[in-house]
Copies of this chain bind each other. A is one copy, B any other.
Amino acid sequence: MGEGWQSIPGSVAAPQGFRAAGIAAGLKPSGGLDLALIVSEDEAIAAGVFTTNQVRAACVTYGQERLAANPRARAILCNAGQANACTGEDGDRDNRAIADLAAKALDIDSDLVLTASTGVIGQRFDVDKFAKAMPELAELTTTFAPNESAEIASKAILTTDLVEKSIAVEMAIAGHPVRIGGIAKGSGMIHPNMATMLAFVTCDARVSPDLWQAMTTRAADVSFNQITVDGDTSTNDMLLTLANGRSAAPEIAADSPETEQLQAGLNQVCIHLAKAIARDGEGATKLLEIQVNGTATDADARHLARVVASSPLVKTAVYGCDPNWGRLAAAVGKAGVEFDQTKLDIALGHFELMKAGTPLAFDRPAAAAYMKASDTISVAIALHQGSGSGLAWGCDLSYDYVRINAEYTT
């Protein structure tokens, strides 16, 4: 997957015709960068995947309505500090106001500005601070070198994240370079169905709105919807993708080999960002990668992988570097997918722990040493019921997860 796509610098500003910047607008009580802007010089085809939470932030409802009305955008404005969720009609008005401010600073139609917010639920943001920062922020997208400005943007969307998440890739399609870039933030409330995470992807391919939305949904299904930190789904999650057609490659036609190439690149970008979010989960010390094979369907495999990656007993065992196949077996069993327990195989890295439902004798100290030494803990589960397969990513559950979330101030 993603074969042929090469890593390049530049993040969301790498695709042609995209710019980005970040600024400290005074929104975060802790200070620092807290407002990011991504700009497409041309009208871009826009697609989105939004939280399934019944309690939705103003920016979520707004983005869904905007894309339904016209799947095109010129800019994405994202703030950290206040989630602007559970803020009622005031929150809707505030959200519209900051979209207007960005449109004015960029001299574009305000219907072409998408918004995203992250931070404390129930808190409104101070629109005046946006008004004050916006002209400079818009200016910054043109004055910095693209690489630097995109890096600043990737920092400005973070909350409790420890590291920024960013990527760009390039490949020739029909003889012309096509580029995809992305930035994302985690790191708590991460769970399937677009939990508290924001991801913004830019691309210079030319593609129809319907195809771009379908490709975006498909990419989200194998990436962001397959990561879990704590099983909590947030009110603000969204993936927004822009494709501005600036590449000289011809329009990508549905069901063509080029669609598959572009899909592979989009998947690669989204999986990279998703894994980075899981690895940076609150309190995480390790990335947990669960591969499930041999289910009736891919959807079953993805579901099983997610359930195992979500299990607190599996997560604490990983934190404790304990090759605890019993907790893995129990987690597979509880997922609601029927299987024959006498066919269950479980491996941890290159250690086979269980074969045909029976625990194997394995070198326990060596397996524990593998866990201690590895940043990524790989678990492979085979059910031998069919040809379905799927991957999910999570992280361990540490003292720090409890500390961060017991002490986080509301």
Q: A52-B334, A313-B405 are in contact. Are A122 and B234 (CB under 8 A)?
A: no
| Contacting pair A399 B405 (CB below 8 A) | no
The contact sample of 8 A-B pairs, CB cut-off 8 A, is: A54-B333, A86-B326, A86-B329, A312-B405, A319-B406, A322-B408, A322-B410, A324-B410
| Contacting pair A235 B329 (CB below 8 A) | yes
Identify A331's interface contact among B52, B232, B333, B339, CB under 8 A.
Answer: B232
| Contacting pair B405 A55 (CB below 8 A) | no
| Contacting pair B402 A330 (CB below 8 A) | no
| Contacting pair A319 B402 (CB below 8 A) | yes
Q: Interface SS of chain A: helix, strand, loop or mixed?
A: loop
CB nearest to A316 among chain B residues: B405
Measured between beta carbons, the chain B residues less than 8 angstroms from A39 are none
Stretch of A93-101, A109-117, A130-138, A352-360 on the interface side: A352-360
Chain B nearest CB, measured from A336 CB (Å): 8
How far apart are the CA atoms of A334 and B406 in the complex, in Å?
A: 21
A398 close to chain B: CB less than 8 A: yes
| Contacting pair A122 B326 (CB below 8 A) | yes
Annotate A189-227 by CB proximity to B: 1 below 8 A, 0 otherwise. Answer: 101010000000000000000000000000000000000
A338 close to chain B: CB less than 8 A: yes
Identify A402's interface contact among B52, B83, B121, B401, CB under 8 A.
Answer: B401
A186 close to chain B: CB less than 8 A: no
Q: Which of A366-403 contact B (CB under 8 A)?
A: 397-399, 401-403
| Contacting pair B313 A358 (CB below 8 A) | no
A88 close to chain B: CB less than 8 A: yes
How far apart are the CA atoms of A407 and B317 in the complex, in Å?
A: 8
| Contacting pair B334 A233 (CB below 8 A) | yes
A248 close to chain B: CB less than 8 A: no
How far apart are the CA atoms of A335 and B398 in the complex, in Å?
A: 25
Identify A333's interface contact among B55, B120, B322, B409, CB under 8 A.
Answer: B55
